[in-house]
Structures are given as structure tokens and as C-alpha cells.
Amino acid sequence: MSDMDCNLYRAFRQAFPKDLGACAIEVEGSRYWSFDDIERASAKFANLLCASAARPGSRVAVQVEKSAEALVLYLACVRAGLVYLPLNSAYREGELDYFLGNAKPDVVVASPQNFSWLSKIAFRHGAAHVYTLDADGRGSLIERAAAKSDAFKTVASGEDDLAAILYTSGTTGRSKGAMLTHGNLLSNARVLKEFWHWQSDDVLLHTLPLFHVHGLFVAAHGALLAGAKMIFRSRFDAGEVIALLPRATVFMGVPTYYVRLLSHAGFDAACCANMRLFLCGSAPLLAETFEAFRQRTGHTILERYGMSETVMLTSNPYAGERIAGTVGQPLPGTLVRVVDEDHKECRPGDIGHIEVKGPNVFPGYWRMPEKTAEEFTHDGFFKTGDMGRWIVFDHLPQPYLSIVGRSKDLIITGGYNVYPKEIEAIIDELPGVLESAVIGIAHPDFGEAVTAVVVARPGVEVKEPILLAALKAKIANFKVPKRIHVVAELPRNTMGKVQKNVLREKFSAAMG
């Protein structure tokens, strides 16, 4: 541990432009927050939180709609050395009971419409104060902070001091609280700033949620550390994005956003004329979307890979070739390896477990020392739970990482390993198929039966026997799905990840 001050807010503050009156966040209705507004409002929030029983290390749990105030609340926590705990606004009572019971926050901030049930849960788990904050930036948090001083001395934070806890999205199991330190977040933000060439005259169009690593630590940190402006929208709306893009230079999205932009007739090269960079992550971007985007706009989407526990790990190059179906190379300072079951490094092309080490990697799960110990190797690498392989391209000096799926999604059928992504890629190429998800369903003979769920292209009908016949001609029999279900759309969470647990539940009965 170093004694150096790594307080993340201090680093942002140092990057603010000389003219503190410049626009930092433009919100709906052409209202804007200057950098000075951020400095003063975060001081007021920090003073209120510190007067509300929160002291360095205390958790501040926040389940609110997106707003500039919510971002400033996060900055206030960081400034005061408190641990920010953002919660997906879709979570309901059972989930909140688990999170607050696990994290034991001293202060909770809720949407006004959830106040009555959420405050009961919060007080039951020992919170001293529950404030409200709505989507328009109104609520008791604002009222109570109004009387506080707009000056606050940012605390000194060591690199190991906690800045946030992010509960993992739990698409494969119970959520765990990933603890992120000032050192983790600051080192990653600095690397990304260089790697993606953030400049103070960039304008980030921010339409991602703020409760997740993507919108908070990748998007907002990028703009803040560059002293750049953000245009904030509460959610992604393709029409609105198309109207705002001409004023932006950077956009970040999950694959679904890009699919929606492409299906909008008004989306063309002209509205991207000022754009410098389109970034994508959180879920796999289909090669078809990548290609269609390039053809429509002339821009090549830069896909990167990361997760709550590690922030960003790999990225396609900024200046070099960006390759569809890959997440690029390890970011500077981060070690990434792909290993087999015996922990030996895999040869390029061979599928294995992705493991990672670096200053960006979290120290562990909140109050889960055993789970933490299980997820790290003896030489300090974090087991990401993702499976992948290195792909070597003859004309390029370094291999690119390609993600094949989650290890928990790995299907073992009759003793054979089947990687869903491999089958999905083949199904997606069949005529009439828009996209697919491949899952394992318990089966008396095979252990698990490979099962595919398919979405047809608009106006096209696809039939199970025809798809099955086509697959039998292309892949080994054990990989061919036992059943193919055709559905109107795949269930996705807010970050665009296909909820395979929902599909498994839905189709397990169908296996019989």
C-alpha cells in the first residue's frame, strides 16, 4: 500500500478546466451543470452525509433514477471517503433486503416512490438516515443539503481505501458485492484516458445507467478525468440519440443500443459527422452489427471487455485494427491469461478460463472472504468466470482475445464440453436467423441437453426441423441442439446481457 493520495475526486478536480463556469453536464431542457456547480454541490452533499452518521468507510446505498444529482452524490461520497453503493433501480423488496442486509449502509438514498418500503428495510438493517432523490433532482437529500456549506475538504485516500461496492448482476447466481478501491478506479480511469485518447474538448453522449460499471466507471470517469462535457439523458432512446449525436464526439453503448440505432431509418453517416469514437461492451457485439455499423456510418465500433470486479481489462486498439468478435488486447498494466483446467496457459486458439491481474483488479467481495479466496489463484490472478481464446492474425503482431461465454454457461452433454457461443455463432449464420442463445437443460441421459432459443429476422419464418438439419451438416452431433425453440425476443437485463437463467427456467419443462 502506498501513502500517496489516490482520492478519485481529487484527480477529477485537478482535471477540471481553468474556466470552472464551463459546462460539465448538460441535462434535459438545456439546463446545465458547470464544473463549479459540481464542486459546490458535491461539497454540500458531502457535508450532509458526514453530518448524517457517515464517516470514512461507511456505505451509502443509492437506489435512484439517473440524474446529474445522482452523479454528484457519487462524487460527494468519493470526496468524503465514503463507500458508494449503487443499486439497479429495477430491484424490488426481496433484492434490497439482501443488499442492505449484506452491506449495512449508514445512509440510504431512495426514489420518493420507493421511500415507504425501502426506508423500513434500511432502518431494519441499521441505517441512520434515508433521504429521497427523484429523476428531476428533487427530494429530501437536496432540501437538507441546501443549508450545508458549499466548501468541503476532500479527504486523503490511500489506494487501498474503498470507493464503491458494486453488486454483480447475478445472471448466474446470488449477487456478490465487488469492493473497488480508489486505486482500482483511478488507475483504470487513467489508463483508459490515454488509451482512448480522451481530450478536454470531447463531448460524451451519456445514455447508460449510473448504477453499473459501464455508465459510472467507464463513461462518467472518462469525461471527468478529461475535464470534458457530458450530455446526460436518463435512458437510451434511438431517436433522441440520433438528434444529439451531431453535438457529441464520444458515445458508449451496450450492443442493444447499436442494434436499435441501426434499425432506425434516421440513423446515417451525417449524424455521426463529429463523432470521434463509438465504444461497446457489457455483452458480446455481433459481428453482423459491427459490420452493418461500419457500412452505415463509416465508423468502426471499438469493443472492450471488463466487469464489476476488474473495471476494464482489454480493449480493441484505438489506432490499430479493431476486429469484430474480439475484445482486443490487455490494457497497459493489466495481465490477462487463458488457462486450461490444470492451470496451464492455453495455446492460441484453444479455449480456456480467462484470468487477470493488475492494479484495476478488486481486492475481494464484501464480507465474503471464502468466496474471495476461491476466486483468486495462488499467484494472485482473479478468475473472471469467462471462457475465451487468443486468436492470432497473421498480419498483426499481437493476438486478440475472444470471449466464448461464461464458464457457468458451459454445457456438459454426455461428457462433452459445448461452448454456447460457438453454437450461437453458427446458428446466427443460418438463413432467417437474427440471433440465438444456447443453454444447457437438465436431461436424464445426457446430463445436460444442448438447447437453442432462436429469434427470426422480421417477416421471416424459421422452422426447427430445417434449422436442425442445417446444423447437423455443420457441427458434430453432440453439439447439435436437442431442441430449438423459436421466440419473438431474447430476455435481456438492462445492460443488454441475455438472461440465460430465465431461458433455462422457461424451457426446462419443455425438455420433458
Q: Which residues bind ligand AMP (CB under 6 A)?
A: 168-169, 213, 281-284, 303, 305-308, 327, 384, 386, 403, 406, 495
Rounded to a whole number of angstroms, the minimum distance from the CB of residue 388 to ligand AMP is 9
Rounded to a whole number of angstroms, the minimum distance from the CB of residue 461 to ligand AMP is 30
Rounded to a whole number of angstroms, the minimum distance from the CB of residue 258 to ligand AMP is 12
Half-sphere exposure of 251 (CA within 13 A, CB side): 26
Residue number with CB closer to ligand AMP (209 or 306): 306
Residue 151 backbone phi and psi in degrees, to 5:
-120, 140
Instruction: Please choose, from the candidates 432, 418, 399, 424, the residue with its C-alpha nearest in 3D space to the C-alpha of residue 477.
Output: 418
Task: Return all residues near 131 (Cβ < 8 A) that are at least 6 apart.
Answer: 107, 108, 109, 110, 139, 140, 141, 144
Residue number with CB closer to ligand AMP (129 or 497): 497
CB 163 within 8 A of CB 182: yes
Residue 389 backbone phi and psi in degrees, to 5:
-150, 155
Residue number with CB closer to ligand AMP (362 or 446): 362
Residue number with CB closer to ligand AMP (171 or 249): 171
Residue number with CB closer to ligand AMP (139 or 281): 281
Residue number with CB closer to ligand AMP (81 or 420): 420
Instruction: Please choose, from the candidates 148, 118, 116, the residue with its C-alpha nearest in 3D space to the C-alpha of residue 52.
Output: 148
Cα gap 88→163, rounded to integer Å: 18
What cell does 475 get?
A: 457441427
Rounded to a whole number of angstroms, the minimum distance from the CB of residue 309 to ligand AMP is 7
Task: Return all residues near 316 (Cβ < 8 A) that are at least 6 apart.
Answer: 302, 303, 304, 322, 323, 326, 327, 328, 329, 400
Rounded to a whole number of angstroms, the minimum distance from the CB of residue 379 to ligand AMP is 21
Residue number with CB closer to ligand AMP (10 or 500): 500
Distances (CA, A) of 154 to 4, 159, 225, 383: 14, 15, 16, 35
Task: Return all residues near 119 (Cβ < 8 A) that are at least 6 apart.
Answer: 108, 110, 130
Rounded to a whole number of angstroms, the minimum distance from the CB of residue 216 to ligand AMP is 11
Residue number with CB closer to ligand AMP (139 or 388): 388
Rounded to a whole number of angstroms, the minimum distance from the CB of residue 1 to ligand AMP is 25
CB 180 within 8 A of CB 162: yes
Rounded to a whole number of angstroms, the minimum distance from the CB of residue 307 to ligand AMP is 3
